[in-house]
Structure formats: structure tokens, C-alpha cells
Amino acid sequence: MATLLPPAHPDVRVWLVDLDAGDTTASLAVLSADEAARAGRFVFDRHRRRFAACRAALRRILADELRATPAALSFAYNASGKPELHLALDGPRGAGRGVNQDAPSLRFNVSHSDRYALVATTTAGAVGVDIEKTRPIEDVLRLARTAFSTNELETLTALPAGVREAAFFAGWTRKEAYIKARGDSLRLLEDFDVALTPEEPVRLKRVAGDAQEPARWTLLSLAPLPGYAAALCIERRAPT
């Protein structure tokens, strides 16, 4: 079941998907053969069901956005594994099979954690989204050393202990959303900084070697439901 969230950005639509709702048989029916095979390789039934539900929800959302059918969609992947739409134009517009050939280029991104997923779509530019289930962390600073830049770690260390976990998940989801928007999984987490503290505007603060890169992106925090942190990163439109 997918729910369209209140707008966080005028150019982006974001859906919250409950991966434990709905029928697994119906989900599997709209998957491609390779997606169904991937689902079948999961050892645990819960993981298989959630994978199928996530891929089926993604297909249905994209098909609805394009006035297509889920079966008309296929995906290509870049070198870092980021998926992009590859449309099978197998029918005339309005025939119920093919894709609307007049539709603008649609970008999307998907993220899942535990039983929930987020799907973001836009025609404005590259987009990334991330969702993480929050949880108590015994040593949040030790974990942050593996994921944050030196500047971010210093900021996190200076915060009161009671707010560090929230700042960690805010920073983690913002960094992941930016990486996913770029489609560049090889970018080092040390190479860029995001805002962490509640007092700071949510933004990409620094990218090593590229002073103009932060101005290229809008970074936003999302609050899709209690117990989860999430973030959205969208490429800004070029001036016209």
C-alpha cells in the first residue's frame, strides 16, 4: 500500500509504502522475470515478501505517473547500480499497454528500511531519497567515525549526548540521499559535509574539490512516520 506524502518540494512527489500490507501473489504478478527470481533467492519469507512488495509498488507508482502499465517498464542500471527507467514503447498512447510518448523524462529513487519504503519521482532532475528506522545506538560516536566526515564528527561530538542519535540519523539519511541522487556509490563519505544540528538549515555544506557542488542540490529532511528518519535530495533546476 502506497500513500502520497504531503509535498516536501514543489518538483518532487514522495510515497510511503507499507511493505507488509497487500498481497504477495499480486506483487509477484507485476514483477519482471529477473525481479521474481531475485525475490525467490531470499532465505527468509519476510524478506522475500518485502522485496516483492517494494518492487511492485515502485512499478505501480511509475506506471501511474507515466499513464502506462507496470509491465511496460524495465530498468537499466548505471555503473554504481542506480536504476533508471527504460521504457518499452509497445503500444499506442492510451492503449493501456505502452508508455505515453509525450511524457517528460521521469527520474525516481527508492529506499527501504524494515517494513517501510519511500519512492520519490520528479521530472526536474536527479533525485535521491533515504529512509532509516531509528534505534538506540550504544556508541553513536564510534559508528559515526565509519560514516561521517571529520567536520561532521566534530559537530556530532560537540552535541549533548541526548541529541546525538537524532543528529546521527539525520546526517546519515542526508548523506545517503545525496549519494543516491548523484548515482555515485564510490564517493567517499569523508569528501562532503551535510548539516546535522536542528539549528542549521538542512543543506549540503561542502564537497571536496568542488565549491559549486552544494549550490547544485536542495537537501530536505522528511518525517514520514514516527520511529523513522528520512531525507530527500533534488537537483536544482538550471536558470532559464
pLDDT tens digits, 13-32: 999 999 999 899 999 999 99
pLDDT attached to residue 229: 98
Do 2-124 and 129-235 share a fold? yes
Report the CATH architecture of 2-124: Alpha-Beta Complex (3.90)
What would the pLDDT profile of 101-146 be if each residue is shown by its tens digit?
444 589 999 999 999 999 999 999 999 999 999 999 999 999 999 9
Reported as type and span, the H/E element at residue 24 is helix 24-29
Give me the phi and psi of 67, to 5 degrees please.
55, 50
pLDDT attached to residue 102: 45
pLDDT band at 203 (very low <50, low <70, confident <90, very high): very high
pLDDT band at 95 (very low <50, low <70, confident <90, very high): very low
Grid cell in block for residue 211 = 565549491
Report the CATH architecture of 129-235: Alpha-Beta Complex (3.90)
Give the residue extent of every domain in the chain: 2-124, 129-235
What angle do helix axes 45-66 and 33-40 make, rounded to 10 degrees?
160
Grid cell in block for residue 42 = 531470499
pLDDT attached to residue 101: 45
Percent of the chain with pLDDT strictly greater than 70: 90
**Nearest C-alpha neighbor of 174 from the set 143, 215, 199, 205:** 205
Question: 189, exposed or middle or buried, with CB in 10 Å at 0-12, 13-18, 19+?
Answer: middle
- Contacting residues for 156 by C-beta, under 8 A, at least 6 apart: 140, 141, 144, 148, 164, 167, 168, 171, 196
